Chains A and B, each alone.
Chain A
Amino acid sequence: MKRMVKWAVLAVVVLAAFGFVGFLYFVPPLMSTDPQEFINGEAAMAPPVDGIADPAVRALAERGRYVLLTTECTGCHVTPGPQGPLPDMYLAGGRRFTTNTHGVVVSRNLTPDKETGLASRTDDDVKRVLRSGVYPDGRSIPHGAMPWAQFSNWSDEDLHAVVVYLRHVKPVRHAIPPPAAGAADAVIPGAFEIVEGVDAGKK
């Protein structure tokens, strides 16, 4: 009897060990998950435009959503959480980048929040950043910190559509700290940029 218990315990321990190694090995199942799940997840982050009452604004926002989704603005402007980007913090920013060329920057909050987002910025202010990388006070944004030079290839009309969509995503209170000094290759030799997965913003 005692022996059986011993064996049973051993079996449980061995199974648990295998289970744990299996857990370590297979979670998260990035390479075995159907690609479609990732694809659906990407679209699910970007809120649909159905709720917009004015049909013309809705049509513009739909175009803006398409441009924003396929340009993958979420590549930077997500709020990293322990399980991946926080879905209810869409475009609220907070990811930290340590770069060689422009120090430590944190992706900004693009939601229309009054204090921490874009609500107080005019359409022209937002367009000027996306097109020319210049803040209303004249400061330039290094184009490596935010690829505005690439986005300058959007037509004026697509640029407008993007801004319309940004005005209709859910406002999220999330304060983003200002840029700081630092260099990637001081942290890791040969590195050009280090992209972190922790939220550097304040809720």
Chain B
Amino acid sequence: MPQVPSGLRRVASAAVCLLLVGVAAGIAQSPADAPPTDVKTLYDNSCASCHGTDGRGHGPAADALNPKPRDFTRGTFKFRSTASGSLPTDDDLYRAISHGMPGTSMLSWKGILTDDQMRALAVYVKRFSPRFATEQPVPLKATPAVPSSPASIEKGRAAYESLACGACHGDAGGGHDAVASGLQDDWGHEAVAPNLTEPWSFRGGRTAADIYMRLKSGINGTPMPSFADTARDEDLWHVANYVVSLARKPVWEMTADELKDHYARRAAADAASPVQRGRSLVASMACGHCHTPADREGRALPGLAFAGGVRMRLVVWGEVVSANLTSDNETGLGRSSDSDIKRALTHGIKRDGSRMLPFPMGWPAYAHLTPQDQDAIVAYLRTIPAVKNQIPPPARPGALAYLASKFQMLVRGKDFPIVIFAGNAGSAGNPAPSAAAARR
């Protein structure tokens, strides 16, 4: 009986963007400068898949990460105990490694690496930026903490308003999810102002002391300024106490009724910002795995994000090429209606009415997306810049070849694997990777 649905179940989705770990180290260093081999090995094994062996923050996993991994070569570090614009101290770097960055892929290495290893890595990453050779960090001194109290929180609320924190973080009093959009950081990525009611995702820590230091140091490279010169120091403590007081319950502490309310509110918030929700869904559902072509080492081909062109051989059914999801009118989804896109996504029926196999495109799973989430995905796909990349139609085998492979499969029980090919099979061809991409 059919080996098919097993053999070719939509596995291919987990396939295409495989990237090489441990590419040749690209940093030129004089022998005297060369770090002890074991630290370099440790860095290459533990850090390079995101930060890159050259420290540029372009490791093989970096494309899919939000926020992006730190580019060490700039010497711009977000979470410090030093003045705005200044370098971090060794302790700051150590803290980032040992505590991790909550809410991101930067994990806490405590318990995995030894203290000495983490200290050594903190020193090692400084090699990537020349700034550390010429500049000194300017540490900030924390004044004694102001203990939290209703009075302090009230003063903090007033200062939060007068300092216009709400312009980015929303009217936090009732500003659940009311955060600014369209902000950019120095690396050209979208900067999302954190939701201050979700302290478990505060990258730099959730205590009043952590938040006080954020207000004082600012977050280098992002629109978050330092308030060291623009606010009274005591007010920063009040604001920190106020922000701590804004915390809502996380889902893991909620009762069933609270969860019901929470998920309803979540859905309403997602409905209000469909593009943001769609971007997050498309990223986490790994659509780019099949719809962004990659070279044989798994690096995404430049300029072809979501432009399709990944060729897959299903043997019995011939070859299919992933669709161009960009908004190009001729070769992408530009002329497809919303319902065309949703029908393809959830029922495997193309614009011309023809059907897709139930694999490798996982439409039987995507059909379980709520209508609202389907709309969000469409809304996001509409924002992807157009790329002209004509996708060839599926190549079906001849009747005899088809029957022969079916005989092999059904009678002799042969398994035909899905074969996924490197490169772009669409009309845009295979652009050479940029120098930066080649280096990682």
Chain A contacts to B: CB under 8 angstroms:
21, 23-25, 27-28, 30-31, 35, 38-39, 41-43, 55-56, 58-60, 63, 66, 69-72, 74-76, 78, 80-85, 95, 97, 99-102, 128, 131-134, 136-138, 140, 142-157, 160-161, 184-185, 188, 190-198
26 contacts between A and B (CB under 8 A): A24-B403, A25-B406, A28-B5, A35-B347, A38-B364, A56-B256, A60-B251, A60-B252, A70-B366, A72-B10, A76-B14, A80-B6, A82-B2, A83-B5, A85-B6, A100-B18, A100-B296, A138-B113, A143-B60, A147-B286, A149-B50, A151-B284, A153-B280, A157-B251, A194-B419, A195-B419
Q: Which of B60-112 contact A (CB under 8 A)?
A: 60-66, 102-107, 109, 112
Q: Is B413 an interface residue (CB 8 A)?
A: yes
Chain A residues positioned under 8 Å from B358 (CB to CB): 30, 38
A194 adjacent to B417 (CB under 8 Å)? yes
Q: Could you say which residues of chain A place their CB within 8 Å of the CB of B288?
A: 150
The CA-CA distance from A70 to B285 in the complex, in Å, is: 8
Which residues of chain B are near A144, meaning CB under 8 Å?
17-19, 60, 298
Give, as a whole number of angstroms, the nearest-CB distance from B431 to chain A: 17
Docked pose: A134 CA to B48 CA in angstroms? 13
B153-191 interface (Cβ within 8 A of A): none
CB-based contact B415/A196 at 8 Å: yes
Residue B349 lies at the interface, judged by CB distance under 8 Å to chain A: yes
Q: Least Cβ distance of A164 to chain B in Å?
A: 8
How many A-B Cβ pairs are below 8 Å? 275
Q: A25-B403, A143-B60 are in contact. List 16 more A-B contacts (CB 8 A).
A: A24-B406, A35-B348, A63-B259, A70-B373, A74-B9, A75-B9, A80-B7, A83-B6, A84-B9, A147-B14, A149-B62, A156-B250, A192-B16, A192-B298, A195-B418, A195-B420
Residues of B within 8 A of A148 (CB): 61, 105
**Contact present for A75 and B11 (CB under 8 Å):** yes
Is B364's CB under 8 angstroms from A42's CB?
yes
Complex Cα gap A195–B7 (Å): 8
Size category of the B interface is: 35 or more
A131 near B107 with CB under 8 A, answer yes
A30 to B314 alpha-carbon distance, docked (Å): 13
Q: How far is the CB of A156 from chain B (nearest CB, A)?
A: 6
Whether B355 is near chain A, meaning CB under 8 Å from some CB there, is yes
In the complex, are the beta carbons of B104 and A99 less than 8 A apart? no
CA–CA, A74 and B330, complex, Å? 34
Set of chain A residues within 8 Å of B15, measured between Cβ atoms: 97, 192-193, 195
Contact A83 B256 (CB under 8 A): no
Q: B416 in the interface, Cβ–Cβ < 8 Å? A: yes
Residues of A near B363 (CB, < 8 A) are 35, 38-39
B232 to chain A, nearest CB (A): 34
- Please name all residues of chain B whose beta carbon is closer than 8 Å to the beta carbon of A81 when the two chains form the complex: 6
B11 near A131 with CB under 8 A, answer no
The answer to whether A192 and B296 touch (CB under 8 A), given A72-B285, A85-B6, A142-B49, is: yes
Q: Does A39 contact B368, Cβ atoms closer than 8 Å?
A: yes
- In the bound assembly, the distance between CA atoms of A23 and B106 in angstroms comes to 54
Task: Decide yes or no: A198 and B63 within 8 Å by CB, A56-B259, A138-B113 being known contacts.
Answer: no
Contact partners of B65 in chain A: CB under 8 A: 149, 152
A197 touches B410 (CB 8 A): no
> What residues of chain A lie closer than 8 Å to B107, measured between beta carbons?
128, 131-132, 134
- Chain B residues lying within 8 Å of A70, measured Cβ to Cβ, are 285, 365-366, 368-369, 373
A150 touches B9 (CB 8 A): no
Q: Which of B113, B286, B347 has the most CB of A within 10 A?
A: B286
Choose one: A42, A84, A191; the contact of B367 (CB below 8 Å): A42
| A153 and B284 contacting across the interface, CB-CB below 8 Å | yes
Contact between A143 and B61 (Cβ–Cβ < 8 Å)? yes
Report how far A5 CA is from B355 CA in the complex, Å: 45
Given A35-B348, A85-B9, A150-B283 in contact, is the A56-B113 Cβ separation under 8 Å?
no
Chain B positions within 8 Å of A82 at CB level: 1-3, 6, 413
Partner of A197, one of B7, B13, B112: B7
A154 close to B284 (CB less than 8 A): yes
| Contact yes or no, B9 A140, CB < 8 A | no
Q: What residues on A are CB-neighbors of B37 within 8 Å?
A: none
B46 contacts A by Cβ under 8 Å:
yes
Are B3 and A75 touching (Cβ within 8 A)?
no
Q: Please indicate the chain A residues that have their CB under 8 angstroms from the CB of B406 in the complex.
A: 24-25, 27
